[in-house]
Amino acid sequence: MIPFSPPRMDQKIIKEVIDTLKSGWITTGPKTKLFEKNITEYAGHKKTLCVSSGSAGLELMLRWFGVCEGDEVILPAYTYSATANVVIHCGAKPVFVDINKNDFNISVKEIEKAITNKTKVIMPVDLAGFPCDYNEINALVRKDKIIKKFHPKTKEQEKLGRILILADAAHSIGAEYYGGKTGALTDITVFSFHAVKNLTTAEGGAVCLNLPEPFDNQKIYNYLNIKSLHGQTKDALAKVEVGNWRYDIIEAGYKYNMTDIQASMGLVELTRYDEDMLVKRKNIFDDYSAAFSIFNWAQLPVYKTENKISSYHVYLLRIKNINERQRDKIIQLIFEKGVSVNVHFIPLPMMTYYKNLGYDINNYPVSLDNYSREISLPVYYDLTKKNVKKIINAVIKSVEEVLSQISEK
């Protein structure tokens, strides 16, 4: 069976992890701090806080901005549950909007329609690694008539004076937009380093701070270190310094810190990410697109345009003119040929929890259509050319089998 996305694991990573295990320091310490510095240099934003997961990073920043009951947060209907669940945790209301027909990303037009005087945050998701329309989104929240709708309730909201953009870049580290990298494209961006993501630390995430004046990103970073560690004024490393034992708790903070074991994996991966990981993934994308482009039934994903380059996280193939049941049948046939595939994602209004809250998928026709016809193909570092061919053949055979059944009817 060809797996869907096993993590890349090699001697270099193992060596770095063992080095940490033997160092006498395994939780947040020098390697996490170095990883933060390297991420900042890599993406070009102002400051990085490493955290225990992408979800933790998103929630931490919603809390930092003071999002709570009575507030609304706009996000795409087409995303993983983490993006919406963290809004629920804060007591606020997720306002789902539909996506573009072309690329699976949140529609800026739909965002504008959804903004009310309760909107505090917009969370664009760079789905499959393809950057959202950040120029348009950044400009939208700065429009006079949109600013007039914004009612700040906290110190931070007052200081920003407009809706915050909190980008969910769980898929898109290394993606480019007008020559800039994700992390530096908007106010705050959160990466995920979960085991299936492009760059993994098993579990982990990073908050990329890029807030405009008059915010001091270094100061916010210092505060977030405390907020993500129980509100404790000194972290474990500072406390082991001779005589430096006394600390205070300034708020009921969270436990969201990254460990040096996690950071050691990330340090190795980041140094070779552009030249090695992204090149490998791009080649797989190109092979898939070349193979499927000759078929009328194939709708290929967009992963490179004049101003956008994907991080090639997942290859989202769509089959034209089929329904959800036929797609499911194709997936079953592909599995029977020894290939693991997936669907990214089942839109959130289709999930029991969100359905029970009253969301209805019929209000998101593009999400529903994209979902019904989508099949995600394996993309990972160790995927061989031979297996790429095997996957391609399995997909072609399975699609044609189902399509011929349809035409017989």
Ligand X SMILES: *Cc1c(COP(=O)(O)O)cnc(C)c1O
Number of residues that bind ligand X (CB under 6 A): 14
- The Cα-based distances of 156 to 99, 161, 204, 269 in angstroms read 29, 8, 26, 34
The distance of closest approach from Cβ of residue 198 to ligand X in the complex, given in angstroms and rounded to an integer, is: 11
Q: Applying CB under 6 A, does 5 fall inside the site for ligand X?
A: no
The distance of closest approach from Cβ of residue 385 to ligand X in the complex, given in angstroms and rounded to an integer, is: 27
The distance of closest approach from Cβ of residue 179 to ligand X in the complex, given in angstroms and rounded to an integer, is: 24
With CB under 6 A as the contact rule, the residue among 92, 115, 167, 170 that binds ligand X is 170
With CB under 6 A as the contact rule, the residue among 7, 29, 205, 347 that binds ligand X is 205
* 51 vs 160, beta carbon nearer ligand X: 51
* 85 vs 154, beta carbon nearer ligand X: 85
* 173 vs 402, beta carbon nearer ligand X: 173
Instruction: Pick out residues in 65-94 that bind ligand X (CB under 6 A).
Output: 79-80, 82-83
Q: Applying CB under 6 A, does 168 fall inside the site for ligand X?
A: yes
* 125 vs 339, beta carbon nearer ligand X: 125
Task: Name the one range near ligand X by CB under 6 A: 7-15, 32-40, 167-175, 349-357.
Answer: 167-175
Question: Which region, left, alpha or beta, applies to residue 92 given φ > 0 means left and ψ of -120 to 50 means alpha?
Answer: beta
With CB under 6 A as the contact rule, the residue among 8, 120, 194, 373 that binds ligand X is 194
- The Cα-based distances of 347 to 104, 123, 126, 298 in angstroms read 11, 15, 15, 21
Q: Are strands 205-209 and 188-192 parallel, antiparallel or unpaired?
A: antiparallel
Closest CA to 185 of 252, 222, 130: 130
- The Cα-based distances of 316 to 340, 367, 373, 375 in angstroms read 14, 13, 10, 6
DSSP 103-142: TSSBPHHHHHHH--TTEEEE--B-GGG----HHHHHHHTT
Instruction: Pick out residues in 120-149 that bind ligand X (CB under 6 A).
Output: 125
Q: Applying CB under 6 A, does 7 fall inside the site for ligand X?
A: no
Q: Are strands 72-76 and 119-122 parallel, antiparallel or unpaired?
A: parallel
Closest CA to 282 of 201, 380, 356: 380
The distance of closest approach from Cβ of residue 389 to ligand X in the complex, given in angstroms and rounded to an integer, is: 28
Binding site for ligand X (CB under 6 A): 53-55, 79-80, 82-83, 125, 168, 170-171, 192, 194, 205
